A and B are shown apart, each in its own frame.
Chain A
Amino acid sequence: GENVEQHPSTLSVQEGDSAVIKCTYSDSASNYFPWYKQELGKRPQLIIDIRSNVGEKKDQRIAVTLNKTAKHFSLHITETQPEDSAVYFCAASRYSTLTFGKGTMLLVSP
């Protein structure tokens, strides 16, 4: 089955800095790569996703890049704000079942 590795496990940045979270996946047939933000005790919420026919996608301060050859994808958050503090999960799927990475706790200090 699919295996998703996510790094780093914790990331601390100052407000206004950029944050980058990286993930690798094992199944070369995976074709859908969403990123979720989860606050403590809340449900995961989709913040951006990318499909295998696209190399990069951007939505305001958030961007995701995908390198299918290397089987890795990254989340980039620019101009971070304290409200960006949360756990971020990457995930990968081939047809429908998502396999999640272990998560990255992002702490943005004012």
Chain B
Amino acid sequence: AAGVIQSPRHLIKEKRETATLKCYPIPRHDTVYWYQQGPGQDPQFLISFYEKMQSDKGSIPDRFSAQQFSDYHSELNMSSLELGDSALYFCASSLDLPRQSGELFFGEGSRLTVL
């Protein structure tokens, strides 16, 4: 079965540089989420999209932005990178039922290292 695809899997950047992460959700899933997980920490919700519109916003820094495209893939853009942005970034997708949460399927994650 198709899973959530994230790219790149690993990314190394210098401080103040820009990075873009991509996510391809499971076909026919209507909601995409981005989570950030620092070392030894729980996943922190950044932002989500439902049918290409932003649906919820969490602790996403102003330096970050995201969007979902017409083919449902999503990109997380991170600018002016800081050392503290080093983390695993997970994308997840779900097919939500009316007034019910659907199961989240996580991608393998993109590991960002900022030097």
Contact = CB atoms under 8 A, between A and B. Distances in A.
A96 B109 CA distance: 20
B27 interface: no
Contact of B56 (A34, A49, A96): A96
Given A43-B109, A44-B43, 10 more contacts: A31-B100, A42-B108, A43-B90, A44-B106, A46-B103, A93-B101, A95-B99, A96-B96, A99-B45, A100-B43
Contacts of B41: 102-103
A98 interface: yes
A46 B63 CA distance: 31
27 contacts: A31-B101, A41-B111, A42-B109, A43-B106, A45-B106, A46-B103, A49-B103, A89-B42, A89-B43, A93-B101, A95-B96, A95-B100, A95-B101, A96-B48, A96-B50, A96-B56, A96-B101, A96-B102, A97-B33, A97-B48, A97-B56, A98-B33, A98-B45, A99-B45, A101-B42, A102-B42, A103-B42
A49 B102 CA distance: 11
Chain B interface category by residue count: 20 to 34
Interface string B62-93: 00000000000000000000000000101000
Interface residues of A, number: 23
A107 to B, nearest CB: 15
A42 B44 CA distance: 16
Nearest to B56: A97
B42 A100 contact: yes
Interface string A34-75: 100000011111100101000000000000000000000000
B8 interface: no
Contacts of A89: 42-43
A97 B100 contact: no
B100 A51 contact: yes
